[in-house]
Structure 1
Amino acid sequence: MKEIAHRMFKEVIVAIVIVFILIFIASLFVSFYFKTTILKGFEITLFRIITIGGGGTLGNIVYVALIFIILGVVYVIFDRFVTLMSETNIVGGFLMASKLSSIKNHYIICGAGRVGTHVADKLKEFKEKLLIIEIDSKIVKDVRGEGHLVVEGNCLDEDILNKVGIKKAKGLIACTGKDDSNVFLVLKAKALNPKMKVATRVNSIDAKDEFKKAGADVIVAPEISGGHELAEKITGKRK
């Protein structure tokens, strides 16, 4: 993003310099023609540009041509500015920062996979405030398209967790597909906000004890519980 901004900034500066060079050349010509100082020539040039001409037929042609060149350069500057805004998403970044600074009593969902998005949909149905942290830019785009507030980044990064207001959050749900990542996330979340409720997805039933030691308040194994539910429903038995 910085490279794009730097390149476009240079292009805009070049365009502005071209405008000033053209005006300076015109001022030199005017000062020579009227046998006056360059400063006076500059004043006359600006006046003629603003009033579009006023210096005879030839003068009008020169000034009108100069005006069109300046307008062309201004258009280029405006076009590069719009491109810069869209490619770097400056406006979107500003709005995101504004939302993140004001959000509190919310739930943080780490991971926007199938489990994470289902959790988000249910929390939204419950009218709860939430945001999602996801590292995959394609998934981020898709989930944002569904209307969720998503921050792109690594949920194991403490800076990202602070950015999404973990110290003001009501709860955190660890939904990554790796148990070791979820354990580490539970530990970090509890360290940053001990009062916050932390729920986690567990992929291996053998890892449950690790999550309990890490301080998880809620431990759910979606695949295991889903399998048990299927067996119970088809047999009508329950243990």
Structure 2
Amino acid sequence: MMYFLRLLKYFKGLLVPISLFVVLLFIGTAGYMIIESYDLLDAFYMTVITVGTVGYLEVQPLSDAGRIFTSVIIIINIGAFTFFVTYLTRYLLDGEFIRQYKHLKMDNAIHQLNNHVIVCGFGRNGTQCAHILHDNHIPFVVLEEKIDLPESLPFEVKHFVKGDATTDESLLHAGIKRARAIIATMPVDADNLFMVLTARQLNPNIVIISRASHDSSVNKLRVAGANNVIMPDKIGGAHMATMVLIPDVAELLSLMSTRNTTEFKIEEIIANNSIQLGELNLWKNSGCTILGIKSKGNYILNPGPSHSIAEGERLIIMGSEYQIRKAKELV
């Protein structure tokens, strides 16, 4: 049923000529039943052969009123047929059918997504977010209202929804109930704030990352439900200053934070039991390096072998896909 409703949504333009023919069949059938006293089947058959102009004989001889009614039906049918051919030709030649078919295909693909990321806004920040997600093979949906998807992108956007990210309808269309995270990169803080409120209401468990342009908006976005609030201008300025102070370190950290392949990954894993790092000896047993531990909202960087991790704490580790898989089994 839902699939049929989506078909109607994308191809509703074809309903106009089709509805015209249905109405014509209804009027013709009712007219013959009233004027000629035909039963329903004979009246419908007479209407079909008249509209179809096949030239079959009448069901029974027509009265003068019946002939006039038949003539009117034929004249209306000629006009309706001309309109249908013109409309269908324009619908196909203008590329509208192809566009609607592509939208339907993309809509079906979005409905199949699960554990994906929604990127709201496709400006400079949104484009960069989508690029990183694409390079790391993380499925994502771009939700944008004001611009169409650019043709000359250095990466492929498989899922694109044109709509207002602050509305329930657009977020549900993007699959927010099945998504793992949503990123708000719209330039206006008020739009991001409203989107965060809407997203948190629709999916209480989703991770929400929001952009902020002003310091005064950071706390408001957190109160609204954002897990993290990023100020691009501050991060950009700090990164440029770091490039002057420790250029190679800054470049390496930037590479580590954006690169994610089978040979190199940085991931966080949750400890299922309490154990001392020296006893765990993650480097020897898996080949992974522990970069830090998140405990009760605080980060412990470069922990020593005497440090004990508690159940539920998060370890930030670095290694290959195979090494990280072994580390997850150990921890």
TM range (shorter): 0.5 to 0.7
* Number of residue equivalences: 195
C-alpha displacement of 1:10: 7.9
Does structure 1 residue 203 correspond to structure 2 residue 213?
yes
> Residue type matched to 1:87 in 2?
E
Aligned pair partner of 2:141 in 131, 134, 146:
131
C-alpha displacement of 1:208: 1.4
C-alpha displacement of 1:22: 8.7
Does structure 1 residue 230 correspond to structure 2 residue 240?
yes
Residues 3 and 215 from structure 1, CA distance in 2 versus in 1: closer, same or farther, beyond 3 angstroms? closer
Aligned pair partner of 1:84 in 91, 95, 104:
91
TM-score normalised by structure 2 residue count: 0.49
Other-structure match for 1:147: 156
C-alpha displacement of 1:93: 3.0
Structure 2 distance, partners of 1:205, 1:143, is: 35
Other-structure match for 2:280: none
Other-structure match for 1:112: 122
Structure 2 alignment gaps of length 5 or more: 1-9, 23-46, 60-80, 250-331
Residues 193 and 144 from structure 1, CA distance in 2 versus in 1: closer, same or farther, beyond 3 angstroms? farther
What does 1:1-239 correspond to in 2, within 5 Å?
A: 5=14, 23=53, 80-81=87-88, 83-84=90-91, 86-87=95-96, 89-136=99-146, 139-142=147-150, 147-148=156-157, 149-236=159-246
C-alpha displacement of 1:160: 1.1
Given that residues 186 and 198 in structure 1 are in contact (C-alpha distance below 8 angstroms), is that contact kept between their aligned partners in structure 2?
yes
C-alpha displacement of 1:196: 1.0
Root-mean-square deviation (Å): 3.9
Residues 22 and 111 from structure 1, CA distance in 2 versus in 1: closer, same or farther, beyond 3 angstroms? closer
Q: What are the Cα deviations for residues 168-214 of structure 1, in whole angstroms up to 9, with x where unaligned?
A: 10000001001111112112211211111111111112321112212
Structure 2 distance, partners of 1:22, 1:215, is: 62
Given that residues 12 and 77 in structure 1 are in contact (C-alpha distance below 8 angstroms), is that contact kept between their aligned partners in structure 2?
no
Given that residues 144 and 150 in structure 1 are in contact (C-alpha distance below 8 angstroms), is that contact kept between their aligned partners in structure 2?
no
Given that residues 8 and 84 in structure 1 are in contact (C-alpha distance below 8 angstroms), is that contact kept between their aligned partners in structure 2?
no
C-alpha displacement of 1:9: 5.1
> Residue type matched to 1:227 in 2?
G
| Higher strand proportion | 2
> Residue type matched to 1:234 in 2?
V
C-alpha displacement of 1:81: 3.5
Q: Residue 142 of structure 1: SS of its match in structure 2? A: coil
Give the share of equivalent positions with the same residue, in percent: 22
Structure 2 distance, partners of 1:22, 1:192, is: 52
Stretch of structure 1 that moved more, 181-190 or 84-93: 84-93
TM-score normalised by structure 1 residue count: 0.66
Q: What are the Cα deviations for residues 104-152 of structure 1, in whole angstroms up to 9, with x where unaligned?
A: 100000001110011001001111010010002xx32316965311100
Given that residues 111 and 175 in structure 1 are in contact (C-alpha distance below 8 angstroms), is that contact kept between their aligned partners in structure 2?
yes
The answer to which structure, 1 or 2, has the higher relative contact order (CA under 8 A, 6+ apart) is 1
